[in-house]
Structure 1
Amino acid sequence: MAKATKKQALGRGLSALLKDPENDINTATDKNADKVVGNIIELDLDKIEVNPFQPRSNFNDEAIKELAASIRELGVIQPITVRKLGFNEYQLVSGERRYRASKLLGLETIPAYIRIANDQESLEMALVENIQRQDLDPIEIALSYQRLIDEINLTQEKLSERVGKKRSTIANYLRLLKLDPIIQTGMRDGFLSMGHGRALVNIDKKQDQISLYEKIIFDNLSVRDTESAVKAYHADEAPKVEVTKTIKKEASVFVRKGIKELTDALSVKVDIKSTDNARGKITIPFKSQEEFDRIKKLITGA
């Protein structure tokens, strides 16, 4: 406990050093730079700005609140990393969730490691560090790889060395960016896995990608099922965009009649989806427990 207290006191002492205009540190060769760079320092939260190079764009509010509750009890266990912009001004390199949670709690300071880096170095540090995280979705990772290639001018081979991933792995992530934006959003929201995305990207026409994407969601297709569907698509063995039209032609009579009869009987707008071999699903919506109980009673008679 004594060591922790001493370390915290040291952080506050270095914080005071950084607020002294006569000791402004801008490069690694400046006086007292060795006391600052690489040490944990308590920084004022209002002197830190968010990182425009942050690859993560989705922050779960509930997860931030849970982290805030943990910080309230235990403090910030892992310091954030910042880079120095100017006198007593800093920018996040990594740790935005901890930064947001601390601000949510109304804390005034946060423990931080200080780095001295230019824009390109900051971008690379932020992207590479975030790529190593386990909770990024496949599209966030793919976008981070693409930014490293475009903005740091890395080849896939050099990128492979920087992030410690096989070149084939990087290529598979980058191919996901060829998916229609609707499908990319579905992956980011967790409706599709990377395996689904890797299969879908083999379909060039965006509208046909979306048609199969909707089928994956509706029929809860596995990755293997999706791969088989893509093979069938290329072999022209299965209906593609024309699926809905085919259903309407071959099953329109009994489906239209059934929808009307069920809607009238249950007093809710019933939806029926059917395949060309007369198989399908009936969807009955309800808006409350009372409505659910009413529908259940009408169907079961109990």
Structure 2
Amino acid sequence: MKQEKRRGLGRGLSALMADVEPAANETGEGTRRADRFVPVERIFPNPDQPRRQFTQDALQELANSIAEKGVIQPLIVRPRGDDGYEIVAGERRWRASQMAQLHEVPVIVREFTDTEVLEVAIIENIQRADLNPVEEAMGFRQLMDRFGHTQEKLAKALGKSRSHIANLLRLLTLPDEVREMLQKGEISAGHARALVTCEDAVTLAKRVVAHGLSVRETEKLAKQGVTPPEATTPTTSFLSEPKGKDADTRALEGDLSAQLGLKVSVEHKAGTEGGKLVLNYTSLEQLDDLCRRLGSD
């Protein structure tokens, strides 16, 4: 009896990457041959698509390219019903193709499970170059929480360093207001990383924007746990030698924060081997998730 060939998760994360990577590139390099052409009205979007925002200008630009050159990279789909297909990867191309008034698009058909569809959709979004740091971090967190992938496994499969993934995951521990500033481009990822262990990240982030502080200045202020007065400008008066926790402790806090998705504070009692580990949550959803991780009912 011929053994059924398993796909996706059955072959590991790298196997899923092999399906997604060609489709993530819309420039024409590494084009893969389509299995068939399917009318656009027989293709349906994935209701669990992690990406909810599609910029109209970017879609129109892609539509103009498709109108001139066609759909270079096929969509990845799976069968849906008797004669329909659900998008696994390539919803932007499908939407832009309709704007370009195409009647059919090239597709690659795969027999993915519901779980595999979600995993591939997340991977495709992570591989896109236009994700902001927070969106990319949320993609990593979903892969870890939903599918049990480790930072090491993600780094190897996605061709990124483990430190890159860990640093992005730390951004998710920031207050919502700070993450929104990062998404809008008001502060950089470097600024945001410096704010992760800050007691009052929101206040310092506002000072960073108001005074145009550099990443290094922000790092010094975050270590001191102080912020400059509103009326002052960045000077050495508030950039003196930092006090407080040592670099190893702050690094440990950052690693734990990245793993748990919560802000973590390590408070070691000087001269002893004891101390406190404080986990901070900002919503009941985060608390429920922590309880689930700890195996609590």
After TM superposition, the score normalised by the length of structure 2 is 0.62
* Cα drift, residue 181 of structure 1: 1.3
- Alignment identity in percent? 42
Quickly say closer, same or farther: Cα 1:189–1:141, change in 2 above 3 A.
same
One-letter identity of the residue aligned with 1:222: S
Equivalent residue letter for 2:126:
I
Match of 2:208 in 1: 216
Deviation at 1:177, TM superposition (A): 0.5
Q: Which has the larger radius of gyration?
A: 1
**Structure 2: 5+ residue stretches without partners:** 7-32, 235-297
Matched ranges for 1:1-302 at <5 A:
39-203=34-198, 205=199, 208-233=200-225, 236=226, 238-239=227-228, 243=229, 274-275=231-232
In 2 relative to 1, CA 52–194 (structure 1 residues): closer, same or farther, beyond 3 Å?
farther
Deviation at 1:47, TM superposition (A): 2.0
Amino acid at match of 2:60: K
In structure 2, distance between residues paired with 1:195 and 1:148: 24
Cα gap change, 1:108 to 1:209, in 2 (>3 Å): same
Secondary structure at the counterpart of residue 151 of structure 1: helix
Q: Report the CA distance between 1:128 and its aligned residue.
A: 2.1
Count of paired positions:
206
Paired residue secondary structure (1:191): coil
User: Contact between 2:78 and 2:111, CA under 8 Å: does it hold in 1?
Assistant: yes
SS at match of 1:122: helix
Give the RMSD, CA atoms, in angstroms: 2.6
Distance 1:77 1:276 in 2: 52
Question: Deviation digits for residues 64-122 of structure 1, max 9, x if unmatched?
Answer: 11111111122112222112233222221222221121122333211111111001111
Amino acid at match of 2:95: R
Label 1:28 to 1:94 Cα distance change in 2 as closer, same or farther (>3 A): same
User: What secondary structure, in the 3-state scheme, does the structure 2 residue paired with 1:174 have?
Assistant: helix
| Offset, 1:129 | 2.9
How far residue 132 of structure 1 moved from its aligned partner, in angstroms, is 2.1
User: In structure 2, how many angstroms separate the alpha carbons of the residues matched to 1:93 and 1:74?
Assistant: 23
Given that residues 68 and 105 in structure 1 are in contact (C-alpha distance below 8 angstroms), is that contact kept between their aligned partners in structure 2?
yes
Deviation of the 1:161 alpha carbon = 3.3
User: Contact between 1:28 and 1:116, CA under 8 Å: does it hold in 2?
Assistant: no
In structure 2, relative to structure 1, the CA distance for the partners of 1:40 and 1:121 (3 Å cut) is same
User: Which secondary structure state, in structure 2, belongs to the residue aligned with residue 168 of structure 1?
Assistant: helix
> Residue by residue, what CA displacement relative to the aligned partner does 1:183-236 show, whole Å, maximum 9, x if unpaired?
212222222221111111121x4xx21111112222222222221221232xx4
What is the CA-CA distance between 1:28 and the residue it aligns to? 7.0
Partner of 1:292 in structure 2?
none
Runs of 4+ with >4 A deviation:
none
Alignment match, 2:293: none
User: 1:53·1:127 contact (CA, 8 Å) conserved in 2?
Assistant: no
Q: Which amino acid aligns with 2:178?
A: I
- Does the 8 Å contact 2:34/2:74 carry over to 1? no
Instruction: Give the secondary structure class of the aligned counterpart of 2:109.
Output: strand
Offset of 1:56 from its aligned partner?
2.9
Please identify, of 67-76 and 157-166, the stretch whose mean Cα deviation from structure 2 is larger: 157-166
Asked if structure 2 preserves the Cα contact closer than 8 Å seen for 1:56 and 1:136, the reply is: no
Asked whether the 8 Å contact 2:136–2:168 carries over to 1, the reply is yes
Give the secondary-structure state (helix, strand or coil) at the position aligned to 2:87. Answer: strand
Please tell me whether the aligned partners of residues 211 and 233 of structure 2 are also in contact (alpha carbons under 8 angstroms). Answer: no
Change (3 A) 1:198 1:63: same
The 2-side partners of 1:192 and 1:91 are apart by 38
Flag the 1:122–1:108 CA change in 2: closer, same or farther, 3 A: same
Instruction: Specify the code of the residue in structure 1 equivalent to 2:148.
Output: N
Shift of 1:276: 9.1
